[in-house]
Structure 1
Amino acid sequence: MADVRTISAAELTELHRGLLRGDGTELALMDAREPTEFTRRHLLYAANLPLSHVGLEVAARIPRLDTPVVICDGGGGEAAAVALELTVLGYTDTAVLDGGIDAWAAAGGELYSGINVPSKLFGELVEEHFGTPHVTAAELAGWLVDGRDLVVLDSRTRREFNRMSIPTGRSCPGGELVRRVHDLIDDGTTVVVNCAGRTRSILGAQSLRSAGLDRVVALKDGTMGWELAGLKLEHGRDELAPEPSAAGRAHAEAAAQTVAERCGVRTVDRDELDDWLAEGGRTTYFMDVRTPEEFAAGHLTGAIGAPGGQLVQATDEYLVTRGARVVLADHDGIGATMTASWLIQMGWDAYVLEPGWLEDAELVTDNADETAAAIRSRQPPLPYDPEDADVARAAMEAYLVWEVALPDQYARDDLVEFRFC
């Protein structure tokens, strides 16, 4: 292990500060422990990469071999093992955090629990900054009984929706909301956006509000809040919000353009994207944010499948190298623009591939979304245990308390910065 270079907590702090200054620094921060240990205590921007997953995932998650990589653990030696494995694979700038996460905490650094914490923290701050309105489960149940003019859109994946859903809800993953909503509403319709907990409800509702819709609310605490209120979820449904009509798409394109102008979303063409991907001095992530079905039907070589809502929900998993560029593609630019607007507010240098690339592109159908599949396979599930109602209730309550409390840690952490537009 003598060949492994180490870095101190103070040196890592300076790398973080360089990222905040925008001085051209890149940093991939990895945690080499197993997922269960990782979720208990970790650095905010650390991405979990156990030794058993390095070979499968690292090329997509850290695509440039000379990216500065810092690896940490809890003192068990996992970080050094991952560092040596990365060196074997050709990575040239790897270091281990001396003393691990305990040294980081001893130096005054914050440690966080849970998964996808940067995105969940961001969601809480979005609600606080924009004043995103919400409706409680009990209130929504009353609206449904009263026959109020409303539509419930579930911003999770179709798989999650199929497992459990709010009565009358339709599946509309977060990146699709602005594209598909307009044909479902008229001037008096209220839109309710839900997820399992809070983040995708808040970001989905605020996406629609930022795109010009006023009668939009988030379901407070999502399906967890519904269950905690003693209400019954439905199971096995697959109602999907339909593809938009020509008029619906026109409304969506205009709404997305308004958001692009406000948040400074820029476009790039294929030639510029190819130049960036071939560039040796900076990382560029190329993400296809269409639905999994559209991605599987054909995508550009080198693209990673990351549906827009899921990408924003799990930035620490998909976008490991902070300071990198991110280029997003979909067929009409709507979902890509909305996704880019959130990434920009999270501090990413995000762009949209000019629409029209599908018309003359040579598409491939290889399994380029294996990174996403690997991430899904090892993420701990949300606290939900249908076999034991009391355990499930306690777990859901604890989860929601944890999520709401994240801004308190943010207030103590001077290495995090979001910029709202």
Structure 2
Amino acid sequence: MPINAVELHKVIEKADEYALVDVREARVTAEQGSILLGVPIPLSILELRVDALIPRRGTPVIVYDGGDEDLAARAAARLETLGYPDVQVLDGGLEAWAAAGYKVQTGGDHVIGQAFGEWIEEIYQTPHLSVPDYLEKIANGEDIVLLDSRPIGEFENHSLPGGTSIPGAELVYRAAEVVKSPDSLVVVNCAGRTRSILGAQLLINAGLPNRVVSLEGGTQSWVLEGHELDHGKHEVAPLPTGAALDAAQAAADRFRAKFGIKKVDKDTLRRFRDEKDERSLYVLDVRTPEEYAAGHLPGTTSAPSWDVAPWVFRYIATHHARIVLVDNDEVRATVAASWIEQFGWGEVFVLANPLDGEDLETGPVPPTALDVPSGIATTTETDGTIIDLRPSTQYRKSHLPGAVFAIRARLGADLPGTGPIVLVSEDGLLARYAARDLAALTDRPVKVLDGTPTEFETGNDTWLHEPDDVVASGWRETDPELRKAGFRRYLSWELGLVEELNADNTTPFRSFAEDRP
């Protein structure tokens, strides 16, 4: 059933639950543009993501593509097969949205996340420091603590000299373990701007007595200024104890007061669970993945605080849903809730006394894949045409000899070679879905590779489809000048996002600044 752009805009204006889903590949979305409140779930991986992102089957779902393709119609049909009865296709797709006079956002497949960071800086006037000014202060011997607001995996990949990884709400939770003097200048960095700004503003909101600034442009500006990055460093702040924990809990009290964070008890959470078929419910554990695996409440999803803010749409596709955040002592959940309140994504709560007296589950919990094909032929041999469905970044690093990169949603009967087709994916799941797709399109034998191959090659890449599954990034450029050009484009784009938001009347953000709108 189609919905036109004006009708969609009216849906967005209401406070009712809905999910708006962009089913194109990431790079296509970034380059052609998107609707600000749309959540990317590419058709290629729909069955792998949609249960976690849209758990209530009765949720009204609107899907869209660029307007000149059949992706949205195919996605709608698939969703109905998966048990979602209320699915509509945006008639004319993104082209129709633009033609109706509504704003199209470009530059990323999740523009709203970076835009939120720029909006925070604009609304709260978050102070910043340039790389040259930072280095001048270092040279002058000033007392500076450098905190990197990215998770440890990114930090180990590359970092600034002297930094410590404390991502997301961990900044508030662990800062006092690293910042020992109130006289230290605290500088927060990330790879660009967004998480630097959000991290600095978190510490300011927490009432840290220090002067706190974001490092303008983060590691990208560091490279642009001609400086070298560290690689392989592992510097993390410990969990808080004693006075540091007291400081974190006092900061959480400030967040509750400033942002009106609501708490619920376990009886209320049980009622929410009983009502989940009428009102969507997301229960997210915002601690680190390691803490989650060591012991978590049954029925919760691991959603580290640095992912929830500002990337809440990576976990929640339904607007105006109930969101309950969980941690061990309510500090990180309260801090993360403050971002979601400002983001305007849903009705957010913090679970009181979350783990006390509970029987906890251990280990990671993978998302639920829907309608997994059965009876698919498998093989341990690689004789035939090998189609590699893994992310293009992995394919570039290495692949089976002779393997061809492909995107599942674009597979058709026009496959290269003759004879058997062997499908490869990260865990075999995506390959099984693709095998079922291809069974209706070709008479050639289609099999899924079983087991772990031992022979790989680098180079000799063959692209059946453009690598549109990832957004172009300067970090992926091997040529130093091309990398710097990519950094300049990205940082310039981020700086223009507030102006883009001002032209978009669907922006959901809520300000809690006392002296600004």
TM-score range, shorter chain: over 0.9
Please say if residues 325 and 348 of structure 2, whose CA atoms lie closer than 8 Å, have aligned partners that are also in contact. Answer: yes
| Alpha-carbon offset, residue 229 of structure 1 | 1.1
Q: What is the rounded CA distance, in whole Å, between the counterparts of 1:176 and 1:202 in structure 2? A: 15
Q: Which residue of 2 aligns with 1:175?
A: 169
Taking structure 1 as reference, are residues 307 and 369 closer, same or farther at Cα in structure 2, changes over 3 Å only? farther
CA deviation digits over 1:368-400, x for unaligned, max 9? Answer: 2548xx9x9965474214621111001010001
Aligned length: 408
Q: What is the rounded CA distance, in whole Å, between the counterparts of 1:385 and 1:9 in structure 2? A: 36
Q: Which residue of 1 aligns with 2:21?
A: 30
Taking structure 1 as reference, are residues 382 and 201 closer, same or farther at Cα in structure 2, changes over 3 Å only? farther
Q: What is the rounded CA distance, in whole Å, between the counterparts of 1:194 and 1:370 in structure 2? A: 31
Taking structure 1 as reference, are residues 187 and 269 closer, same or farther at Cα in structure 2, changes over 3 Å only? same
Q: Residue type of the partner of 1:184?
A: V
Q: 1:102 aligns with which of 86, 92, 95?
A: 95
Q: Which residue of 1 aligns with 2:253?
A: 257
Q: 1:204 aligns with which of 199, 215, 226?
A: 199
Q: Which residue of 2 aligns with 1:83?
A: 76
Q: Which residue of 2 aligns with 1:51?
A: 43
Q: Residue type of the partner of 1:86?
A: L
Matched, 1:248 2:339: no
Q: For 1:317-356, what aligned pairs fall within 5 Å after superposition?
A: 317-347=314-344, 348-355=346-353
Larger radius of gyration, structure 1 or 2?
A: 2
CA deviation digits over 1:58-79, x for unaligned, max 9? Answer: 1100000000100000121001
Q: What is the rounded CA distance, in whole Å, between the counterparts of 1:135 and 1:97 in structure 2? A: 44
Please say if residues 26 and 109 of structure 2, whose CA atoms lie closer than 8 Å, have aligned partners that are also in contact. Answer: no
Matched, 1:73 2:65: yes
SS at match of 1:181: helix
Q: For 1:22-421, what aligned pairs fall within 5 Å after superposition?
A: 25-40=16-31, 41-74=33-66, 75-113=68-106, 114-185=108-179, 186-213=181-208, 214-279=210-275, 280-347=277-344, 348-355=346-353, 357-368=354-365, 370=367, 380=471, 382-385=473-476, 387-421=478-512
Q: Residue type of the partner of 1:332?
A: D
Q: What is the rounded CA distance, in whole Å, between the counterparts of 1:122 and 1:192 in structure 2? A: 20
| Alpha-carbon offset, residue 361 of structure 1 | 1.6
Q: What is the rounded CA distance, in whole Å, between the counterparts of 1:404 and 1:312 in structure 2? A: 19
Taking structure 1 as reference, are residues 381 and 181 closer, same or farther at Cα in structure 2, changes over 3 Å only? farther
| Alpha-carbon offset, residue 366 of structure 1 | 4.7
Please say if residues 256 and 334 of structure 1, whose CA atoms lie closer than 8 Å, have aligned partners that are also in contact. Answer: yes
Q: What is the rounded CA distance, in whole Å, between the counterparts of 1:53 and 1:248 in structure 2? A: 43
Matched, 1:6 2:2: yes
Please say if residues 116 and 317 of structure 1, whose CA atoms lie closer than 8 Å, have aligned partners that are also in contact. Answer: no
Q: What is the rounded CA distance, in whole Å, between the counterparts of 1:278 and 1:366 in structure 2? A: 25
| Alpha-carbon offset, residue 33 of structure 1 | 1.1
SS at match of 2:474: coil
SS at match of 2:14: helix
Q: Residue type of the partner of 1:259?
A: F
Identity, % of aligned pairs? 41
| Alpha-carbon offset, residue 142 of structure 1 | 2.2
Q: What is the rounded CA distance, in whole Å, between the counterparts of 2:366 and 2:504 in structure 1? A: 33
CA deviation digits over 1:6-36, x for unaligned, max 9? Answer: 10001000001113xxxxx111010111122
Q: What is the rounded CA distance, in whole Å, between the counterparts of 1:71 and 1:116 in structure 2? A: 16
Structure 2 stretches of 5 or more lacking a match? 369-390, 395-468, 513-517
Structure 1 stretches of 5 or more lacking a match? 20-24
Runs of 4+ in 1 over 2 A off after TM superposition: 142-147, 365-371, 376-383
Q: Which residue of 2 aligns with 1:22?
A: none
TM-score (norm 1): 0.93
Please say if residues 40 and 110 of structure 2, whose CA atoms lie closer than 8 Å, have aligned partners that are also in contact. Answer: no
Q: What is the rounded CA distance, in whole Å, between the counterparts of 1:338 and 1:94 in structure 2? A: 34
CA deviation digits over 1:295-350, x for unaligned, max 9? Answer: 12121222111111211121222221011111111111111111101110111311
TM-score (norm 2): 0.76
Q: What is the rounded CA distance, in whole Å, between the counterparts of 1:191 and 1:133 in structure 2? A: 11
Q: Residue type of the partner of 2:135?
A: A
